Structure 1
Amino acid sequence: MTITLRAGSTVMFTGDSITDSSLGFGYPRWIEGEWGFRHPDRPVTWLTSGVAGNKVMDLEARWATDVLDTRPDVVSILVGGNDMGWHTYDPDGYVISPEAFAAGYDRLLAADGMFAQLAATTAPEHWAADGVHPTPAGHAALAAAWLRLVA
């Protein structure tokens, strides 16, 4: 499946700290830059509503105000890393059952196994040094995967 972006389209990236890209080099910024390079004749408005620490249920809670109210033409979601084992890092964290996680995520979108495939051929630390947040190479892989689906 390919999504075609027309000039003037609005794309919303939403999710957790990986989408937040507050450090300036996250995959949404790579996509924005690459898009501008490849398609200077089709300007697009790029929005980001990633929130560090968010879980699927947090995204669900802010879905209407942070995503739908912006009236985007395309929504790209990357969330779920904080749902898996976060309570082992945060003593005040809460456990999310696999069923609750799956149900929440299914209500948003399905996940992709891209990093598992990459880590099968290259050390996982190359893609996410801390096992969660992508390195610049990991963000580039996310951007490349996203751009393969959009024309």
Structure 2
Amino acid sequence: MTTFLTRGDRVLFQGDSLTDWGRDRSDPSSLGHGWAGIAAALAGARRPELGLTFHNRGVGGDTAALVRDRWEADALALEPTVISLLVGVNDTWRRYAQGQVTSVEAYEEHYRALLDSARERLDARFVLVEPFLLPRTAQQAAWREDLDPRIAVVRRLADEYGAVLLAADTLFAEATIVAGAAHWTTDGVHLTPAGNGLLAEAWLDTLGING
């Protein structure tokens, strides 16, 4: 059975709180209890013959610039063969919550720097998870004007770098038609258990690791 992942792959989940999700910072092997931990557990259960290794280095609150600041220690030094990256919603959130504006151009520059260094140093393969928003209020719905261009950046970079794209924003937009935003998210961004499960299943399906 062919999948994106190959035998012996070292997979790194990287990003913000959506990836971090309660991981134990004192334990380098901790994967947290969110979607990344679920995806790693199911990948190991479904394809044990691949001998996959997983790391989670997500940090809550991180923007693309903050991920870049720790990229050497929290990505390159781990020498992953596959990097799954989800970052961007905090670049939007901080604009509306704190007045800290990161232009779309700066976001792309930071994101591109992450990919370039990992490709040049490690020849890593990428899974790019687009940032997403499930608005719970009319005020939050206005965030779209800032987030949608960032989603477009991730989609364009996925194509340019030959990465696998997980269209998470589309995934959750369709899911809210079925069950409503409150079923999937607590605040428009952070996920419920069902939301974490849905994203984990989508990650596995996108990489061909089906149940």
Flag whether TM exceeds 0.5 (same fold). yes
The SS at the match of 1:77 is strand
Residue 60 of structure 1 corresponds to which residue in structure 2?
68
Displacement of 1:124: 1.3
Displacement of 1:126: 1.3
The SS at the match of 1:4 is coil
Residue 140 of structure 2 corresponds to which residue in structure 1?
none
Contact 1:19–1:26 at 8 Å: present in 2 too? yes
Equivalent residues in 2 for 1:38-53 (5 A)? 38-53=46-61
Unmatched runs of 5 consecutive residues or more in structure 1: none
Contact 2:15–2:86 at 8 Å: present in 1 too? yes
Equivalent residues in 2 for 1:85-124 (5 A)? 85-90=93-98, 94-107=100-113, 108=115, 109=128, 110=154, 112=167, 113=169, 114-124=171-181
Matched-pair identity in %: 38
Root mean square deviation, CA, Å: 2.2
Contact 1:127–1:135 at 8 Å: present in 2 too? yes
Instruction: Decide which of 120, 133, 145 is 2:190's aligned counterpart.
Output: 133
Aligned equivalents of 1:84, 1:125: Cα separation in 2: 20
Contact 2:21–2:60 at 8 Å: present in 1 too? no
Count of aligned positions? 148
Task: Judge which range, 46-55 or 140-149, deviates more.
Answer: 140-149
Residue 86 of structure 2 corresponds to which residue in structure 1?
78
Aligned equivalents of 1:97, 1:120: Cα separation in 2: 31
Higher relative contact order (CA 8 A, sep 6+): 1
- TM-score (normalised: structure 2): 0.62
| Structure in which a larger fraction of residues adopt helix | 2
Alignment deviations for residues 30-87 of structure 1 (CA, whole Å, 9 cap, x no partner)? 0121112212222211101100100011112222221111110110011111111324
Residue 149 of structure 1 corresponds to which residue in structure 2?
206
Determine whether 1:4 maps to 2:10: no
Contact 2:17–2:59 at 8 Å: present in 1 too? yes
